Structure 1
Amino acid sequence: MLVMTLMYSLLAIIIFICKSIFLRNKKQTLISLSILLLEILLIFIFVYCLLPSRNLLSLLLGNAIFGGIFLILNLFIGNFDDDIRRGKLWVNKSFSIGLSVVMVILLIAVGGELHSILSVKPTYNSISVKKVSSKQAPTFKRGETPVALAPKTVLNRVRKAVSDLPNSQYYKIAGTVQAQYIHGKAVYIVPVEYQGFFAMMKAKNIPGYFMIDATSQNATPKFIKKPYKYTTSAYFKRDTERQLYRNNPQWLKLGDGGAQLEIDNNGNPYWVETVYKSEFLSHRINYKKLRVIVMDAVTGKTKTYKLSNLPKFVDEGITSDVAAEINSNYGSYKHGFWNRFLGKTDMEEPTNNGPEDGVTSIFNENGTISYFTDFTNPNTKSDSALGYSMINARTGELTYYKANGIMDSSGAKSNANQNYKAQQWTANMPILYNVDGRPTWIMTILDKTHAIRGYYYLDAEDQSIYGTGSSPISALDDFRQALVNSGAKASNTPNSNLKQITGTVDRVAIVSNKNKVMFTLKDSQIVYTIDTDDFAKANLLRSGDNVGFKANIVNGQSIGNVTKFTNHNLK
């Protein structure tokens, strides 16, 4: 802190030295020294409380401001009174030199700030992007794809459990939920925070953290007793951000949020923060050169890692606020700074409908975590989505899925909310998946207390097609039935298990207004459905015909997506 105070006071000190040399007035020098010492004290308080950036541009701007303040204070206190009365202020060497230095540094700083703001194309180009077709989008697989609890629900359950802690009056749950895999299991980690300064002095340490199964509807939070010293709600040397700032002078914090708590496989807590080094005289970020600082929450020891060699237990080296920033820069700066305000060509705007800094943490089947968000058109008030992204939380790579003709997450939530208007329940955590080849919004329905009331699956292309259920699986089955009933075209989900079925037709119903044929086989209660736009000869199907086809079977309900249909009675 002392070094940073000195660096932000440097210009004021130089002005004082120059003034002392040219003025040679002991009384005024002592007054000026008193002003300098007072200003250094205020700068120390500024540095200690706000932890300002160590970026060279920030240091220049800070020196110009504090140096200018020192110069003005000397004027008002009377060090230049004689020159002012004689109209020779500008001839005063100490004032002239001080003012010139302040103006030069201020111009350099302002120029650097403008350059940082306007030259955004290199930042955009540094984002690792992989563009793919929407057909390659994540597929929702029955019984395999994890559907996480809404963070609001998790916090509600954890806050109720805090009262069970010893001396619970010292602690609170601030609202941070960390997605993580521990021993291959998807969990949420919720840190315990101090109620305030006096609570910290009484409690001495944080007693541990809460862990909850992220994918079980009825999961209850479990308190893990692992006391640790450093936390984001502590003060002075025990404050996480202060410890990270003090021990890593060469790295700058990225994003507006704080450090995130992650747990290793032995249950030990660590704070994780994404950092960067800016370019010379610029605030510009190179996303290809990000680093991650991992700090032991017990000892305060820190270590800096490249994204390519993070410890295995760190699932989100890219913190959620950094992911939101990457999305914003990707959508806004493809054609530079001015395009954002003038032409808006190819510009896409994140909807920021996620629960964590505008993004949603997704538990992937392969044991990794991604941040999801969708993009909409900033030029219109429509609710259509232009695409959506998945950012790998360990590597920072952004995978962009181009979309056409689908509603965005705001429209999806509004649609779901209308269906629960009477109950005053609301949709949360909209995530887009491929369900039987169709883009589908999957949402969690919560009541006013943030308790789970069900799940809502909405066809992103046709908002009249939706399914509901008390669990993700029952809602999926209801949605698939709705697809069948609507006659909507659906293709088989990639890599899904299709059943080859043969048999004799028992009963047939032709639904001409929806271009489909429904039939059953002898000795079977399942109703099969064929889209006649795909198989025109299905209109000729009759009882007793021998048929063969493939279909996805949905647990005793009607089946859509019949493929490779053959009527052996037709020659």
Structure 2
Amino acid sequence: MMKEMFKKGLVILWIGAMLVSYWMFLPPLNPLSTDFWWFVIEGLILAFVGLSLTTAIDTIGKANAQKATNTGRKEVNPINTVQDKWLKGIGLAIVGLVALIMGLNLLNSRVFRAKSYANVITVKEADFTQDFPETDISTLALLDRKSAKKIGDTYLGTIDKVSQFGISDDYRQVTIGNQPYRVSPLEYKNFWKWLSNRTEGIGYYVKVNQTTGKAELAPLEQPMKYSDSEYLFRDTLRYLRFKHPFTIFGDPSFEVDDAGNPYYVATIYKPRFMLTSKDPVGVILLDAVTGETKEYSLDAIPDWVDRVFSANNVLTRVDDYYTYQDGFWNTVFSQTGVKETTDSYNYISIGSDIYLYTGITSATADSSNLGFILVNMRTREVTNYKLASATESAAMESAEGEVQEKGYVATAPTLVKLNEKAYYLVSLKDDAGLVKSYALVDAEDYQQVTVNNDIEQLISQFTDLDTSALSGTASSAAGQAEVEIITGVVDQLASQMINGSTVYYISSSGDIYKVKATEDSTDQLPFLKVGDSFSGELSKDNYLKQFKVNPSEEEKETNE
């Protein structure tokens, strides 16, 4: 009786252990997933251990019984014989599955299938000067993730129940209305805070404009009931696993659509080669408010979804493409034509999409790039823009060298194209992680570095475009100070060329104002003369924006 109870207890313990393991690790119930097979192997190992215990107990019990009867004759126990067969079968199954997984991984590795890995993606070739889009100053992402987090975290104190919530470390880069933002949801600080607030849910998320640096604690019309900080069945990963038990997908990430509605995006994967080399084939969108989920194939994903492919997936595929075109052994010995991505990458916004860019260099190069790779993170369309240039690391070191006496540290640079030239825009931070200065490094000649504490002034030295969006002065609706309008009469007038742009100096009533000639300047600017009346918005360093030449009294009378 005791033996039977012990065996039943072991079965119950096995079932409990497998349920706990599934609850914790959430493997997909899909034979194309290695996680599924490791889960099966775990179950077989636990079964092997349990059966070994019962066999040992039966053997000990039988030996004691024979000793008590003093027969001295060994008898064959049919139960033990069956258990031995099961033990042998389970052991062989464990060894066979492990060997099969390892064998398939080896046979489908880059050693034997280098050309297959190289052909997963295609790369479009283009010329940087002619084909790379001119940088849109109004959507230039100046803040990296750490800077955005530092700004966003300061807004937590503006909500009720501040002691109950924190801000998630996500700060995922998205585009909202063609503007680059970092967004991150609020989260429960711990289990007890969740227990007290789970009924109400999470009513806010933080968004930080990466161009202007303005942060906002965005309220939701309806609170989120599903998030990464939930417990039990409303945890995003667990919720999606139970709703999609057979689907292979990655960790869900937080995004918002253009209307500000919160979602979690989980990329669906399928192995390229047997059980190896997972590659995205679609996404699952989880409405963080309602819990509704929907699967999309790659060609049907909504346009507002910004990140389907991870940076790791993109960089791995690009490296495979440039590394294994001539097979695996070429990369070991001659390395003919072998290229690779550099050790730094960043993101830029173009239109409503986010692109990853990184340099492409020869496998034997030191500090020079052969061009830049631009990858759409929603579609994985890859373009190689040919341009001999410095690597990102070389540009960062050059920027740090310009301010070495201050000890600033350069962040990963942003690639910009100004007046058909390539530059690295580098933020320079102090020991506290605060951006103190900016540097523009000529990508083709990284020894040419221009540093300025004012980003607007720095960019204006290299382009005729309006740069006011960089300081947020163009957005009075965002709580900026009122714009000061200047009106006056030209007493004296002069001009000079600064970095290829004409700057007009206007003396009026003892003050000197400056007007930079751009594509948007009034056509009357070149004909400005002493005695003309003018008006404009006063900007930094006495520059006038929205400059206008006002008609004289005689011209008004003539027009009347």
- Scaled by the length of structure 2, the TM-score of the pair is 0.71
**Residues 464 and 101 of structure 1, relative CA distance in 2, 3 Å threshold:** closer
- The one of 37, 47, 50 aligned to 2:12: 37
**CA displacement at 1:394 relative to structure 2:** 2.1
1:442 and 2:412 matched: no
Match of 2:509 in 1: none
Matched, 1:368 2:368: no
What's the RMSD between the two structures over aligned residues? 3.6
Correspondence 1:467 to 2:453:
no
1:230 aligns with 2:226: yes
SS in 2 for 1:244: helix
Select the residue among 83, 88, 91 that pairs with 1:99.
Answer: 91
Which whole-Å CA distance do the structure 1 matches of 2:309 and 2:331 have between them?
A: 25
Q: Which residue, out of 275, 280, 305, partners 2:268?
A: 275
Q: Is residue 392 from structure 1 mapped to residue 369 from structure 2 by the alignment?
A: no
**Deviation at 1:465?**
0.9
In the alignment, structure 1 residue 50 sits paired with structure 2 residue 25: yes
The 2-side partners of 1:102 and 1:464 are apart by 60
Residues 527 and 94 of structure 1, relative CA distance in 2, 3 Å threshold: closer
CA separation of 1:172 and 1:418: change in aligned 2, threshold 3 A: farther
Aligned residues: 457
Q: Mean Cα displacement is larger for which, 131-140 or 149-158?
A: 131-140
Inter-CA distance 348–31: structure 2 relative to 1 (3 Å threshold): farther
Deviation, 1:136, is 4.0
Tell me by how many angstroms 1:213 deviates: 2.4
| C-alpha distance in structure 1 between counterparts of 2:429 and 2:75, whole Å | 73
In the other structure, the counterpart of 1:115 is: 107
Alpha-carbon distance in structure 2 between the residues aligned to 1:220 and 1:264: 17
Change (3 A) 1:361 1:126: same
Q: What runs of 5+ residues in structure 1 fail to find an aligned partner?
A: 1-25, 355-359, 482-522, 530-551, 560-571
CA contact under 8 A between 1:120 and 1:333: conserved in structure 2?
yes
Deviations 1:452-506 (A, max 9, x none): 323211012322211122344422344689xxxxxxxxxxxxxxxxxxxxxxxxx
Percent identity between the two aligned chains: 22
Distance of 1:525 and 1:76 partners within structure 2: 94
Name the CA distance, whole Å, in 1 between partners of 2:376 and 2:502.
32
Find the partner of 1:243 among 239, 253, 258. Answer: 239
Give the structure 2 partner of residue 266 of structure 1: 259
> Superposed, which structure 2 residues align to 1:469-548 within 5 Å?
469-478=452-461, 525-527=495-497
Structure-2 separation of matches of 1:339 and 1:203: 59
Inter-partner Cα distance in structure 1 for 2:333 and 2:49: 40
By how many angstroms is 1:271 displaced? 0.8
Q: Which secondary structure does the structure 2 equivalent of 1:461 belong to?
A: coil
Cα distance, 1:462–1:395 mapped onto 2, change above 3 Å: same
Distance in 2 (CA, whole Å) between partners of 1:396 and 1:212 is 25
C-alpha contact (below 8 Å) 2:121/2:318 kept by paired residues: no
Q: Is the 8 A contact 1:128 1:396 kept in 2?
A: no
- Deviates most, 324-333 or 182-191: 324-333
In 2 relative to 1, CA 372–142 (structure 1 residues): closer, same or farther, beyond 3 Å?
closer
Moved more, 457-466 or 186-195: 186-195
Question: Which residue of the partner structure matches residue 9 of structure 1?
Answer: none
Matches within 5 A, 1:306-317: 306-317=297-308
Shift of 1:208: 1.3
Query: What is the rounded CA distance, in whole Å, between the counterparts of 2:435 and 2:402 in structure 1?
Result: 16
Partner Cα distance (1:283, 1:334) in 2: 20
One-letter identity of the residue aligned with 1:241: L
Partner of 1:171: 165
- Equivalent runs, 1:71-86 vs 2, <5 Å: 71-76=48-53, 78=56, 81=59
**In the superposition, relative to structure 1, how do residues 211 and 103 fare at CA in structure 2: closer, same or farther (>3 Å)?**
closer
For the structure 1 residues 253 and 444, does the alpha-carbon distance in structure 2 shift closer, same or farther, using more than 3 Å as the test?
Answer: same
In 1, Cα distance between the equivalents of 2:164 and 2:337? Answer: 51
TM-score, reference length from structure 1: 0.70
Say whether 1:209 aligns with 2:186.
no
Change (3 A) 1:286 1:183: closer
Shift of the alpha carbon at 1:527? 4.1
Kept in 1: contact 2:347–2:414 (CA 8 A): no
1:260-289 per-residue CA deviation (whole Å, 9 max, x = no partner) reads 2222233211111211223584123345xx
| Cα shift at 1:68 | 3.2
Aligned equivalents of 1:90 and 1:229: distance in 2? 55
Shift of 1:216: 1.0
Where 1:110 maps in the other structure, the secondary structure is: helix
